[in-house]
């Protein structure tokens, strides 16, 4: 396909995914999707489920995992027909955790299956022992929520109300779940309409040729990037604080082997599957690698061709290859550590384009109780922190983690929706690792409960192991979680994980998120940059 036609087609396809993102964000009921944009859309191969195109505003990790989700649906439903919509959240069949609902819709043209449209979003509550579903004490997925296997939600355009009823009955907030479901369906409707118009205009043969060409070119770009790297073998490791049950570290190890245009990422040596919910499925591990490589090689097009010259070795029985019923609710913390070890090892392979570690946790917080109207509420929120220093400058302060392009919800929205008050929200001085280019700053958040009582659940990391600097840079500050009781302030026994903290009216929870690691020797930092940091209060 000639480059001009391919570029136009690529833009049209990306626009379809972007419009689907925008539709879901505008129509969803829960703030995690509507405000934070914890969702994504993409186009997937008709027969393999491989990622073809992703939207620019959704979570990259979702796009990577959705390829496995599409494959699972293709395998189970070879009789998929026009107007069908499938839904599931099974984390062992191409999911992440139970909160992330996945919808897939086949696109047909002149009777031929052309591709699949995918829509995924983080629902506010899907049952389980903990409102909001981030349960750091879970020992199986039954304690994390209700698992929905791949099922037909629409059959040839007709809603199966029994399936919808099961979905809504699984949630503490059925009205919110209903609104989010309708928003997903609207996004899929729009995507289907846009694809129909494009197929009518260009023809099926042209679109399928374009799909194949986009993947081939991404693979070609990736092989060229790898060929420019030195051959060799490198190892790196980092640790999770604990599994939420036992206060013992869990090792994430990788051996990177590069030979010519091929790359092998071997995670042998990582910890065995654990009792607590920081296990992840193999699909999630591979998706984490995809996201890390896209950070390290941003020029390569975003589709499954990125992984064509890459072999990912995941040891069976490890916490990176979870099988049911192992709990997986805290998957975000583990995939962030995978990205951290890959950033650190590539800092040695290619120092000129190295990143230091970002803050490495989403600080998932749930506050649940009854509002002034007597109705139950579930506040769920994640928080920002510092990104690592890099060759071009200091790390971003108060950013989102490398797995996400999500937005931290505004204070005004959260205070309007829930009986809480944000009494502090500020950058955290001295939290960025020292370096020629310093790490970005974390933030301090303090939230006061305004109703009679509320239960608080927090699922986070980096309270035991700091985000690391590279090439001589210093480590970022570690995570600090504190909560207020009648006798003063307390820290969770497991550092950054706690279940069922009861706060009375006027009591607060405080999160001081980590900063990013530093890049390069701190002694070489520019004197004007040091003076500016002091003037702005970034360092004391």
The tens place of each residue's pLDDT in the chain, 540 residues long, gives 899 999 999 999 999 999 999 999 999 999 999 998 999 999 999 999 999 998 888 888 887 888 999 999 999 999 999 999 999 999 999 889 999 999 999 999 999 999 999 999 999 899 999 888 888 889 999 999 999 999 999 999 999 999 999 999 999 999 999 999 999 999 999 999 999 999 999 999 999 999 999 999 999 999 999 999 999 999 999 999 999 999 999 999 999 999 999 999 999 999 999 999 999 999 999 999 999 999 999 999 889 999 999 999 999 999 999 999 999 999 999 999 999 999 999 999 999 889 999 999 999 999 999 887 888 899 999 999 999 999 999 999 999 988 877 788 889 999 999 999 999 999 999 999 999 999 999 999 999 999 889 999 999 999 999 999 999 999 999 999 999 999 999 999 999 999 989 999 999 999 999 999 999 999 999 999 999 999 999 999
Supply the pLDDT for residue 95.
82
Contact 138, 277 (CB under 8 A): yes
Strands (E), 6-55: 39-45, 51-54
**CA distances (Å), origin 41, targets 44, 239, 355, 364:** 10, 32, 27, 23
Supply the pLDDT for residue 371.
83
Helices (H), 228-297: 282-296
Hey, which residues does 242 pair with through a beta bridge?
none
Total Cβ atoms within 10 A of residue 442: 35
Q: What are phi and psi of 496, to 5 degrees?
A: -135, 20
d(CA 289, CA 282): 11
Total Cβ atoms within 10 A of residue 216: 14
DSSP code, position 87: E
Length of the chain, please? Answer: 540
Supply the pLDDT for residue 404.
78
Contact 29, 175 (CB under 8 A): yes
Half-sphere exposure for 339 (CA within 13 Å, toward CB): 32
Supply the pLDDT for residue 409.
85
Both tokens of 154, joined, read: 């629409």
Task: Please give the helix or strand (H or E) that residue 346 lies within, else none.
Answer: helix 331-349
Q: What are phi and psi of 421, to 5 degrees?
A: -130, 130
Among candidate residues 391, 387, 388, 371, the one with its CA nearest the CA of residue 379: 371
Task: Please give the helix or strand (H or E) that residue 422 lies within, else none.
Answer: strand 420-427
- Collect all residues with Cβ–Cβ distance below 8 Å to 380 and sequence separation of at least 6: 32, 124, 125, 132, 134, 364, 365, 366
Supply the pLDDT for residue 500.
87
Q: Does the global pTM surpass 0.75? A: yes
Among candidate residues 90, 84, 77, 32, the one with its CA nearest the CA of residue 322: 90
Half-sphere exposure for 380 (CA within 13 Å, toward CB): 25
Supply the pLDDT for residue 59.
82
- The dihedral sign for the CA sequence 517, 521, 523, 526: negative
Contact 540, 453 (CB under 8 A): no
- The dihedral sign for the CA sequence 307, 354, 243, 90: negative
Supply the pLDDT for residue 106.
98
Both tokens of 134, joined, read: 């981030």
Supply the pLDDT for residue 159.
98
d(CA 460, CA 385): 12
Q: Angle at CA 439, nearest 5°, toward 436 and 445?
A: 155
């Amino acid at each position: 396909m000639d480059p001009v036609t391919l570029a136009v087609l690529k833009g049209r396809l990306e626009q379809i995914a972007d419009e689907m993102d925008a539709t879901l964000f505008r129509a969803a009921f829960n703030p995690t999707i509507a405000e934070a944009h914890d969702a994504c859309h993409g186009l997937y191969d008709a027969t393999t489920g491989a990622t073809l195109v992703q939207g620019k505003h959704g979570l990259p990790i979702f796009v990577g995992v959705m390829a496995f989700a599409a494959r699972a649906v293709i395998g189970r439903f070879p009789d998929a027909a026009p107007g069908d919509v499938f839904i599931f959240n099974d984390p062992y069949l191409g999911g992440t955790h139970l909160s992330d609902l996945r919808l897939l819709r086949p696109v047909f043209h002149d009777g031929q299956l052309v591709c699949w449209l995918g829509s995924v979003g983080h629902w506010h509550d899907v049952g389980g022992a903990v409102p909001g579903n981030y349960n750091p004490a879970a020992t199986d997925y039954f304690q994390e929520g209700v698992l929905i296997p791949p099922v037909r939600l629409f059959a040839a355009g007709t809603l199966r109300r029994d399936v919808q009823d099961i979905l809504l009955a699984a949630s503490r907030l059925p009205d919110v779940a209903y609104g989010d479901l309708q928003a997903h369906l609207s996004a899929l409707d729009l995507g289907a309409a846009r694809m129909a118009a494009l197929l009518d205009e260009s023809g099926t043969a042209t679109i399928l040729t374009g799909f194949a060409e986009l993947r081939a070119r991404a693979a070609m770009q990736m092989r060229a990037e790898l060929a420019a790297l030195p051959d060799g073998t490198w190892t790196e490791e980092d640790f999770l604080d604990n599994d939420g049950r036992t206060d013992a570290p869990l090792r994430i190890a990788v051996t990177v082997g590069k030979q010519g245009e091929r790359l092998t990422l071997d995670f042998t040596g990582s910890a065995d599957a654990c009792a607590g919910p920081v296990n992840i499925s193999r699909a999630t591990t591979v998706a984490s690698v995809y996201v890390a490589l896209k950070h390290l090689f941003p020029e390569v097009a975003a589709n499954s061709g990125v992984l064509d010259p890459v072999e990912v070795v995941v040891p069976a029985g490890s916490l990176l290859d979870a099988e049911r019923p192992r709990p997986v609710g805290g998957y975000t913390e583990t995939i962030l550590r995978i990205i951290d070890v890959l950033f650190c090892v590539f800092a040695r392979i290619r120092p000129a384009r190295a990143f230091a570690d970002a803050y490495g946790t989403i600080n998932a917080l749930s506050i649940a109780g009854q509002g002034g109207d007597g109705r139950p509420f579930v506040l769920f929120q994640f928080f920002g922190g510092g990104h690592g220093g890099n060759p071009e400058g200091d790390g971003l302060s108060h950013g989102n983690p490398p797995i996400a392009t999500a937005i931290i919800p505004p204070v005004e929205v959260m205070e309007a929706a829930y009986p809480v008050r944000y009494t502090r929200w500020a950058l955290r001085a001295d939290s960025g690792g020292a370096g020629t280019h310093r790490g970005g700053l974390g933030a301090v958040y303090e939230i006061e409960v305004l109703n009679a009582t509320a239960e608080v659940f927090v699922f986070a990391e980096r309270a035991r192991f700091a985000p690391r600097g590279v090439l001589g840079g210093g480590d970022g500050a570690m995570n600090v979680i504190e909560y207020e009781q009648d006798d003063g302030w307390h820290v969770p026994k497991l550092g950054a994980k706690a279940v069922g903290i009861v706060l009375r009216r006027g009591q607060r929870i405080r999160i001081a998120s980590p900063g990013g690691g530093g890049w390069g020797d701190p002694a070489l930092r520019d004197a004007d940059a040091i003076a500016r940091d002091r003037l702005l209060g970034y360092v004391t």
